[in-house]
Amino acid sequence: MAKYILESAGNINWMALFALITFMTVFLLVVFMVFMDNKAFIKKMENLPLDTEDDMPTSFSKHS
Amino acid sequence: MANMETFYYDNKIVRNFAIATIAFGVIGMLVGILIAFQLVFPVLNFDTSFLTYGRLRPLHTNAVIFAFVGNGIFTGVYYSLQRLLKTRMYSDLLSSLHFWGWQLIILSAAVSLPLGLTSSKEYAELIWPIDLAIAVVWIIFGINMFMTIIKRREQHLYVAIWFYIATWVTVTVLHVFNNLQIPVSFFHATNVFAGVQDALIQWWYGHNAVAFFLTTPYLGLMYYFMPKAANRPVYSYKLSIIHFWALIFIYIWAGPHHLLYTSLPDWAQSLGTVFSIMLIAPSWGGMLNGLLTLRGVWDKVRVDPVLKFFVVAVTAYGMATLEGPLLSVKSLNAITHYTDWTVGHVHIGALGWNGMLTFGMLYWLFPRLFNTPLYSVKLANYHFWIGTLGILFYAIPLYWAGWTQSLMWKQFSPDGFLVYGNFLETVTQILPMYRIRAIGGSIYYVGFLIMVYNLWKTAAAGKLIANQEASSPPREENAVHTGEYWHKWIERKPIQMLVVSAVLILIGGIVEIIPMLMIDNNIPKIASVKPYTPLELEGRDIYIREGCVGCHSQMVRPFRSETERYGDYSKSGEFIYDRPFLWGSKRTGPDLHRVGGKYSDSWHYNHMWDPESMAAGTIMPRYPWLFENDLSTKYTAAKIKNLQMLNTPYPDNYADKAVSDLEAQAKKVAANLEKDNIKMEGLEKKEIVALIAYLQRLGTDIKVESSEVIKK
């Protein structure tokens, strides 16, 4: 399948290769970065939206 | 904590955008219901130009995408950005300009599109003055957002903000390139790109409008509001980072999957397919990240309507992002393209992902903005079930209709003839499905109206907290960050984030598009293909004005079922004078690329006057105004001059004699009609004559002799 697609790209194989290589580079870089992050930092980041003081002290009504 | 600063969040701007979201949702979806019923009952076109399907369809798509979803994005962004950055928006004036500017753009679209003022490019139909206004307002939004980020109190940018930044930068790039035009008048412009290039740029835009207007900002909202509603952090922050970078990098390449089997070069089609399939990974990564955020709190989903809406929204996102790549596989695309399957697919996205996420967000926001409990949780639950049911009743019939019709198009008898040679047979077959779809849309709409009532009562019971007090320590301006990886460095720097996102999305755009712009190398020229005559050009502009492209493609794909039905398959060299291209993306009626010479002039005349008279049972509307309106030749010369500027080979000074040539050709068409006993006062001056001239020209350039490729 991959071979067929690359072949059908004619004389612009470089384009498919360029796309593949840049994507893999970016992807691996991101994965590497992500796994180098320390746990405390990730914990802080993931809790950023959860500051409840940001919102009004409201809960859903139970009446209907 | 020492050194706390007190400040106020601007809730008024959030409320304003929320109201606009709701108001334009009411209008945009109502237009959608009307056009859905028009397909079943053509009488609902009311023989009125500004109410016909062709003109209202772009109104519906624009209203839902840019008015409903657009305002939904701004609602969520203005709420979450302030809180994630611990600061008020940078400028209340810019917020206000953004709000009113955007609403004015929507209103001008609501007027101009029914009037037939359109550039005909899907989801970018608005005329050039409105395009400019969009650019200005978008830049105002950008300045406001980036300045807010710069004056923030929170050091790091949460992943939702990355999605907002990528959205802003990509939409800017897309909007500029897809709307490059040379104005002819205030309402009309000549497209800079032609034919195949225009098609590629349009679908690079069109696909990424879905990606960076309907998807990335909403993913940002998902990453903010879903943890909020579930009151727990996102399942995996690491996954959200990978989701972000992979998604924005891959999405930008996938546009050509809208043009499979067309005259677009094979390599571009293949790139589109490969990247579309790769998209499954980040999309599903994001979907799972959203759903798994609810791990351990599924009991809350049972009682909290907000979470219910979010679950269906994210599930619909997952379904649509699996379906999209599958539809990009050539063998499946050969069946589904041009059919209602595509319409069903986009509505899983629009009704499911965008709609349900917006509803959930609004139900969550209103009680907080107005500091009062939601008026009725019960009604919100009713809305949820009615809306979900509406989606199913909308999408399933269209999948059925698309599949059925496509198989009918391709059905050959044992003798080798098309079983359903008459296109209309394949339309009447699926009308029951159109009926159910219209009902499905209406069901969804009822749910929406219930929400409007519920939120109205909520707002009335409470009072807007226009300026909400908050406090936070200031940001450490010159903090030392030793030993940290540069990932965190990017996260702290919005401008770097902007630049890196821009580079990533530009890589895809440049590699894919620049080679296509090398026109001479990529588009084989065909000697017999000539520019349109002035009359045909004006006829083409009427075709554009009436939105014919919404139902008729002009692209015969290289399948036997299509060449048997329509004629020779379309060659890229045939479109080099098409500004804009009119390939279309849906066949509610037959393809028209080879319609030239297929019928007599009088057939077209009668057909446009009353389609029923030539094809009993057709759902095409009547166009009586084409027989009343005199053709305007005011801008004919200017159009020719613009085309010459873009290297269309008209003779020197041709603009001076364009109108006289036009009148001469119009007389010929009128004489032809008179031969068939069609008599009418001033016939040669009517718009219908120009339209007939254009239709009769379509695809005829290479009909006479076999295509002679003079230059590879």
Q: What is the pLDDT of residues B507-531, one digit of tens each?
A: 877 777 776 666 555 566 788 899 9
Element (H, E) at B6: strand B5-10
Q: Does the interface ipTM go beyond 0.85?
A: no
Residue A62 has pLDDT above 50, yes or no: no
Q: What percent of chain B has pLDDT over 90?
A: 82
Contact B493, A42 (CB under 8 A): no
Considering the entire predicted model, what is its pTM?
A: 0.93
- In this predicted model, what pLDDT tens digit does every residue of B196-236 receive, in sequence order? 889 989 998 999 888 999 999 999 999 999 999 999 999 99
Please indicate, yes or no, if residue A30 is contained in any of the structural domains: yes
The predicted structure's pLDDT at residue A5: 45
- In this predicted model, what pLDDT tens digit does every residue of B372-408 receive, in sequence order? 999 999 999 999 999 999 999 999 999 999 999 999 9
B241–A34 CB contact, under 8 Å = yes
Q: What percent of chain A has pLDDT over 70?
A: 56
Please indicate, yes or no, if residue A33 is contained in any of the structural domains: yes
Residues of A in contact with B367 (CB under 8 A): 56, 58, 60-61
Selected for mutation to probe chain B from A6, A28, A46 (highest B CB count within 10 Å) is A46
B84–A49 CB contact, under 8 Å = yes
Q: Which of B80, B233, B273 sits opposite A50 (nearest CB)?
A: B233
User: Number of folded domains in chain A?
Assistant: 1
Measured N-to-C along each axis, helices B159-178 and B128-150 cross at an angle, to the nearest 10 degrees, of: 150
Tokens 């613009």 -> residue: B642
Q: Cβ of B647: how many Cβ atoms within 10 Å? A: 10
The predicted structure's pLDDT at residue B493: 73
**Is the sign of the CA dihedral B504, B506, B507, B508 positive or negative?**
positive
Distance (Å) from the C-alpha of residue A10 to the closest C-alpha of chain B?
7
Per-position b or e across B553-580, b if 16+ CB within 10 A of its CB: bbbbbeeebbeebbbbbbbbbbbbbbbb
For residue B634, give the nearest of B541, B546, B530, B532 by alpha carbon.
Answer: B541
- In this predicted model, what pLDDT tens digit does every residue of B557-589 receive, in sequence order? 999 999 999 999 999 899 999 999 999 999 999
* Average of per-residue pLDDT across B46-68: 97
Residue B484 has pLDDT above 70, yes or no: no
Residue B39 has pLDDT above 80, yes or no: yes
Give the single-character DSSP code of B630: B
Distance separating alpha carbons of residues B343 and B18, to the nearest angstrom: 27
Q: What percent of chain B has pLDDT over 70?
A: 95
Residue of B nearest to A60 (CA): B373
The predicted structure's pLDDT at residue A59: 47
Distance separating alpha carbons of residues B243 and B284, to the nearest angstrom: 9
Cis bond before residue B367 (omega within 30° of 0): no
Please indicate, yes or no, if residue A9 is contained in any of the structural domains: no
Please indicate, yes or no, if residue A41 is contained in any of the structural domains: yes
- 10 Å CB burial of residue B294 (0-12, 13-18, 19+) is buried
- In this predicted model, what pLDDT tens digit does every residue of B235-278 receive, in sequence order? 999 999 999 999 998 888 888 888 888 877 787 788 889 889 99
Please indicate, yes or no, if residue A46 is contained in any of the structural domains: yes
Q: Of B31-45, B129-143, B698-712, which gets the smallest average pLDDT?
A: B698-712
Please indicate, yes or no, if residue A36 is contained in any of the structural domains: yes
A26–B245 CB contact, under 8 Å = yes
Q: Does B14 touch chain A (CB under 8 A)?
A: no
Distance (Å) from the C-alpha of residue B267 to the closest C-alpha of chain A?
4
For residue B125, give the nearest of B170, B191, B31 by alpha carbon.
Answer: B191
Please indicate, yes or no, if residue A40 is contained in any of the structural domains: yes
- In this predicted model, what pLDDT tens digit does every residue of B133-154 receive, in sequence order? 999 999 999 999 999 999 999 9
Please indicate, yes or no, if residue A2 is contained in any of the structural domains: no
Q: Chain A interface residues facing chain B, Cβ-Cβ under 8 Å?
A: 5, 8-10, 12, 15-16, 18-19, 22-23, 26-27, 30-31, 33-37, 41-42, 44-51, 53-56, 58-64
The predicted structure's pLDDT at residue B482: 53
Residue B711: strand pairing partners: B525
* Average of per-residue pLDDT across B536-563: 97
Residue of A nearest to B512 (CA): A15
Q: Does B376 touch chain A (CB under 8 A)?
A: yes
Q: Range of A28's domain?
A: 18-52
- Confidence class for position A21, pLDDT limits 50, 70, 90: confident
B231–A50 CB contact, under 8 Å = yes
- Confidence class for position B35, pLDDT limits 50, 70, 90: very high
Distance (Å) from the C-alpha of residue B406 to the closest C-alpha of chain A?
25
